[in-house]
Chain A
Amino acid sequence: MSTERPRRVLVTGATGLIGGRLCEVMALTGAFEPRPFVHATGSAWRITRFPLDCAIGDLCDGASVDRAMDGCDAVVHLARGDDAVMQRGLENVLRAAVTHRVSRFVHVSSVAVYGSQPAPDSVWEAAAARSDLSYGNEKLEQEHRVLRYRRRHGLDVVILRPPNVYGPFASFTLGMVNTLRSDGVAIVDGGRNPCNLVYVDNLVEAIFLALWRPEAPGQVFHVTDREPVSWERCITDHAALVGVDVPHVTAAELAPPAQERVWRDSLRALSDGEVQRSLARIPLVRRWFQWLPEPAKRAVRARLHRWDPVRRNGSPERRFLADHPFIAGQKRTVAHSSEKARRLLGYSAPVSYDEGMRLTEAWLRQAGLE
């Protein structure tokens, strides 16, 4: 592989949050020359503010990937999509990277590879990755594919695992703001667990370093903000931006996950007085219930009354769903560390949480979203 420091970088997923900001910073600092790979030209508005040499194509079309790679020294792979894009698309990018002898392949993965309840040792990158999330599994399969190219072809690959990426244009930020507005978020059990955040520009710094630092190839790095932030602080700060109060609840007050809700909602429907009266008129149903042993009868009755809604300020039913990402995420107890990136790459996470939130607020205000 080439030992030259890369100059021209193919950026897949360039129309997304991270890719868009990466291209912006590359263009504004002149540190690298980005070549954005664009699939849907109508989604490229952030990056076409700059006079960049965009490559139009489809990651699942090997020929268009090959054309885009021509003349590039390195790749940052950020593209997301369906299974074909995630695996076949990545394969095409890896193959083209080998063919064109690029000096560095930076693959942006995710801490979702550790699943919804990461093991305690996943503070560090050496922990075994296994996921109960479909997205986490896709990312894990991608990581394996990327590392195979290092073993078989000597491609200088680097894997970065960011957590929740926040900041201007971030879906985490927009999702949080919108969910807060619709009263869909509560702070659960004090929200003490770490939120695992990275401000988008800190991730850009890590990508920059991964592109050229000689210590990077073959390594996997967590990329997080400097200071850990609790869910309580993160949610409260976002709530302050949109001017809403956030309720505190206990885990026991949450509406159960979707699968349980099917039972709950069915049983609640049955518990409706009118329905019960109708059912009671069906002799077989009446007899079926009477045949049940007393403990079973008690269980059915208890089930019907178990999930009382969380009530706020005397308002009618308001439920906080246990499997909503901003609720489920609060159960994650692990704070992933980016100490390895600091030690090997000189990663500094230059934007503090407070500054990141200030910049996010400025964007929200201009976008009319605060």
Chain B
Amino acid sequence: MELAAISDLNASRLQYLRRRHRLGPIAFRDYREVVGRVDAVILALPNHLHAPVGVELLSRGIHVLCEKPLALTRHECEQLCQAARSTASVLAVGFVARFFPSTELTKQLVESRFLGELRSFDYEFGTPGGWSPLSGYNLARSTCGGGVLVVSGSHVLDQMIYLFGDVDVVSHADDSRGGIEANCQTWFAATVDGRPLRGRVVLSKTRQLRNRLRIVGEHGTLEVRGGQTRSVTYLPAGSTLRHVITAAELPPADAEPNYFQPQLHDFVNAIRTGAAPRVDGEQATSSVVLTERCYAIATALEEPWCEATLERLTHAGPHLATDGTTGQPPVPASAS
């Protein structure tokens, strides 16, 4: 495998990368210049460019490992999948958490009915702030596709579908005021072993949450904390014991492995052997569809501290009438 080209609109970043990694003349500001020089592309552009650039590359027979989310809409995802099928190219999607041994272990334990009948699941992931892309694509729905539900939640939704199969949205509340949400709380319903299962997902970009998945079953609770990539914790019902479970075949590791490596190997293996990548376009489409459904039924999270004083603060504004004279204070905009 050879790094054949890098591409970015930002010339100074390209220059930095060339120097940092002592690269030859393989840096291009226009991504179209990589066509004809490469067999495969890691597509890590802003979310809204995944579909147009990905479709163009796949249509030319270039294999694509696309960062998550696959695209902004179901329609765009289907275009990408169709482009991959039409040229028999590999379309893999970068849900790196799928390569954590803890994800596979959780799946095995759920499928083997280790917990008995499942009662509920609960995801809580939140930390103030996050990545700061230089382009600022993360600041708007038009370029990011959404807020915390897309940025952090796409991993959660993908894993949830992987663990529990078809999942439907029961309710979704978030704090978007016409922009992108920083906090959301969503209830989902699934059917596991013929029995209904409900679960909650709470995500935040303004506050620290407990950062863990919990699956509650009749025998006890399975917990996977953020960063717990190699094991899961089992808390038997009615006991104070905590059991840390790892896969028997897992080799010992002094340091946290870089899971982008197995992801990349999986992508290359799919290209070489024709096997499906671990997360293909169709699977990644499911989480985008679920995201769309959440936004379609979104209601407003209550934020009493946000609205309570608005009317009084409005009176401190300049109260300009349209003719430039002092007029009545404006009515506070709708909170929803």
Contact = CB atoms under 8 A, between A and B. Distances in A.
Nearest to A359: B305
A226 to B, nearest CB: 13
B331 to A, nearest CB: 8
A49 B180 contact: yes
A362 B305 contact: yes
Contact of A167 (B209, B305, B320): B305
B313 A201 contact: yes
Interface in B290-336: 302-310, 312-314, 316-318, 320, 329-333, 335
Interface residues of B, number: 48
A31 B317 contact: yes
A324 B148 CA distance: 36
B103 interface: no
A199 to B, nearest CB: 9
Nearest to A4: B324
A27 B177 contact: yes
Nearest to B124: A368
A29 B305 contact: no
Contacts of B332: 28-30
Given A212-B318, A350-B309, A360-B305, A28 B177 contact: yes
Contacts of A168: 305
B181 interface: yes
A211 B320 CA distance: 13
Interface stretch (B32-40, B128-136, B232-240, B241-249): B128-136
B177 A50 contact: yes
Given A50-B178, A211-B318, A45 B313 contact: no
Contact of A41 (B133, B302, B316, B318): B133
Nearest to A201: B309
Contact of A28 (B133, B209, B310): B310
Interface string B176-190: 111111100000000
A124 interface: no
Contact of A49 (B175, B308, B309): B175
Given A28-B333, A29-B330, A31-B330, A359 B317 contact: no
A43 B129 contact: yes
A344 to B, nearest CB: 14
A172 B130 CA distance: 22
Nearest to A29: B314
23 contacts: A25-B310, A28-B177, A28-B333, A29-B314, A30-B331, A31-B316, A40-B129, A41-B139, A43-B129, A44-B139, A45-B128, A48-B147, A48-B179, A51-B141, A51-B179, A56-B134, A169-B206, A201-B313, A208-B316, A211-B318, A351-B309, A363-B303, A368-B209
A209 interface: yes
Interface of A: 5-7, 24-25, 27-32, 38, 40-52, 54, 56, 167-169, 201, 204-206, 208-209, 211-212, 346, 348, 350-351, 355, 359-360, 362-363, 366-369
Contacts of A31: 313-314, 316-318, 329-330
A27 B176 CA distance: 13
A43 B205 CA distance: 9
Contacts of B177: 24, 27-28, 49-50
A49 B181 contact: yes
A355 B308 CA distance: 10
Contacts of B305: 167-168, 359-360, 362-363
Contacts, number: 139
Given A40-B132, A48-B180, A208-B316, 12 more contacts: A5-B318, A29-B330, A30-B332, A38-B136, A38-B139, A41-B132, A42-B129, A45-B206, A48-B139, A208-B313, A359-B305, A367-B206
Contacts of B136: 38, 41, 54, 56
Most buried by A among B139, B176, B307: B139
A46 B177 CA distance: 10
Contact of A29 (B132, B179, B313): B313
Contacts of B317: 29, 31-32, 208, 212
Nearest to A20: B206
B198 to A, nearest CB: 21
B29 interface: no
B138 interface: yes
B313 A48 contact: no
B316 A50 contact: no
A29 B134 CA distance: 30
B140 interface: yes
Contacts of A24: 177, 306
Contacts of A368: 207, 209
Contacts of A346: 316
B182 A49 contact: yes
A130 to B, nearest CB: 32
A30 B205 contact: no
Contacts of B309: 201, 350-351, 359
A40 B131 CA distance: 9
A25 B306 CA distance: 8
Nearest to A25: B313
Interface in B128-176: 128-134, 136, 138-141, 147-148, 175-176
Contacts of B310: 25, 28-29
Which 6 pairs between the two chains have the least Cβ-Cβ distance? A31-B317, A42-B132, A208-B316, A45-B182, A350-B312, A359-B305
A369 B314 CA distance: 30
A177 B308 CA distance: 23
A167 B313 CA distance: 16
B137 to A, nearest CB: 8
A351 B309 CA distance: 7
A48 B140 contact: yes
A30 B333 contact: yes
Nearest to B326: A5
Contacts of B206: 45-46, 169, 367
Given A29-B317, A351-B309, A369 B207 contact: yes
Given A31-B316, A40-B132, A205-B313, A52 B179 contact: yes
A166 to B, nearest CB: 12
A28 B306 contact: yes
Contacts of A204: 313, 316
A368 B312 CA distance: 28
A350 B182 contact: no
